[in-house]
């Protein structure tokens, strides 16, 4: 490992199942470039994660008008989906492709740091999946939810899509009305038992999540769709209350689904909500900056 004073660039990277983003800064923390690449969730393979991280970092250097330097000149803070699984975490760190310094955390914790500028706070994040995490003033952390699809991730895009398909199944049986949402699901997934069974059997979390925008689109004309959104908001309320029962921490609701559900949250939850001061790449950059500060102390 190179000496700390030989590091010229700091990088914060956020990676999950839909893509990877990198934030490039000079050694004094001034952001100079941004880059994107494909998925780097650790559950999709450690080697694949490193490939996409390198591509995102290379794109960030290109955005800054520079070629990718020797990685020994760089320190990387990464917030990656799957980093909470110890075996994947250990394997990722053991395969460091050459960074002088490397810090790994979950994408959720990086999002938490970014949202509150590294200060104490809580987040509820709902996109493809859902999770909540809090950082208290004494430095302790708490995570709720995030149990994964299909058994957990309540209130997420995949959860909404799954519930929509269940309605479509019930409508085929005659156990539920065929409103706008059901007809939309039928058009995508099949309007008869064999077709809908085949689609469901061959689809995973991401495919179910692609149905979630249709739930929002139908909510004004379809009471079933509106109820699904209310149920999703109730699930996010539950995450927020479990994270911080006393309501003492500022709360940021993150993710494409979470942000669209804010208006349906309980009033006492909405009253705690604050806008994010940064995103998960800023949080990942904070990770590596704090690591270096601690090492230098």
pLDDT confidence tier of residue 3, bands split at 50, 70 and 90:
very low
What pLDDT does residue 7 have?
95
What pLDDT does residue 5 have?
66
- The predicted-structure confidence for 278-295, as pLDDT tens digits, reads as follows 999 999 999 999 999 988
- Asked if residue 17 lies in contact with residue 81, where contact means CB atoms within 8 angstroms, the answer is yes
Token readout for 46 is 């450690």
Query: Taking residues 111-134, what's their average pLDDT?
Result: 95
What pLDDT does residue 2 have?
42
CA dihedral of 239, 243, 246, 249, whole degrees rounded to 10: -110
- Asked if residue 117 lies in contact with residue 135, where contact means CB atoms within 8 angstroms, the answer is no
Could you give all domains of the chain from N- to C-terminal order, each with its CATH number?
4-117+277-296 (3.30.420.40), 157-270 (3.30.420.40)
- The predicted-structure confidence for 196-208, as pLDDT tens digits, reads as follows 999 999 999 889 9
- Asked if residue 105 lies in contact with residue 290, where contact means CB atoms within 8 angstroms, the answer is no
Distances (CA, A) of 255 to 213, 276, 283: 13, 11, 15
What does the chain come to in residues? 297
- Asked if residue 110 lies in contact with residue 22, where contact means CB atoms within 8 angstroms, the answer is no
* % of the chain at pLDDT higher than 90: 89
Mean pLDDT of all residues belonging to the chain? 94
- Asked if residue 277 lies in contact with residue 123, where contact means CB atoms within 8 angstroms, the answer is no
Q: How much is the pTM?
A: 0.87
Query: Taking residues 71-89, what's their average pLDDT?
Result: 95
């Amino acid at each position: 490992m190179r000496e700390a004073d030989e590091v010229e660039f700091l990088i914060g990277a956020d990676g999950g199942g839909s893509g990877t983003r990198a934030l490039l800064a000079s050694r004094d923390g001034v952001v100079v470039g941004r880059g994107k690449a494909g998925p780097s969730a650790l559950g999709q393979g450690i080697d694949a994660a490193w490939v996409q991280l390198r591509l995102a970092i290379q794109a960030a250097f290109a955005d800054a008008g520079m070629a990718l330097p020797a990685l020994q000149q760089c320190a990387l803070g990464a917030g990656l989906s799957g980093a909470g699984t110890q075996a994947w975490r250990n394997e990722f760190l053991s395969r460091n492709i050459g960074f002088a310094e490397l810090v790994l955390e979950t994408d959720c914790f990086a999002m938490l740091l970014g949202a509150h500028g590294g200060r104490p706070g809580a987040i509820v994040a709902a996109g493809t999946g859902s999770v909540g995490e809090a950082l208290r003033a004494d430095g302790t952390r708490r995570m709720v939810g995030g149990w994964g699809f299909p058994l957990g991730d309540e209130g997420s895009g995949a959860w909404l899509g799954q519930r929509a398909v269940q309605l479509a199944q019930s409508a085929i049986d005659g156990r539920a009305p065929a409103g706008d949402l059901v007809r939309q699901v039928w058009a995508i997934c099949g309007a008869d038992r064999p077709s809908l069974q085949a689609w469901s059997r061959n689809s995973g979390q991401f495919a179910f999540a692609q149905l979630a925008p249709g739930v929002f689109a139908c909510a004004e004309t379809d009471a079933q769709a509106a109820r699904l959104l209310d149920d999703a908001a109730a699930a996010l309320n539950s995450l927020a209350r479990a994270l911080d029962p006393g309501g003492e921490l500022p709360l940021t609701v993150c993710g494409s689904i979470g942000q669209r559900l804010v208006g349906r949250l309980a009033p006492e939850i909405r009253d705690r909500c604050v806008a994010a001061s940064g995103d998960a790449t800023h949080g990942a950059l904070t990770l590596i900056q704090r690591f270096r500060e601690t090492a230098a102390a």
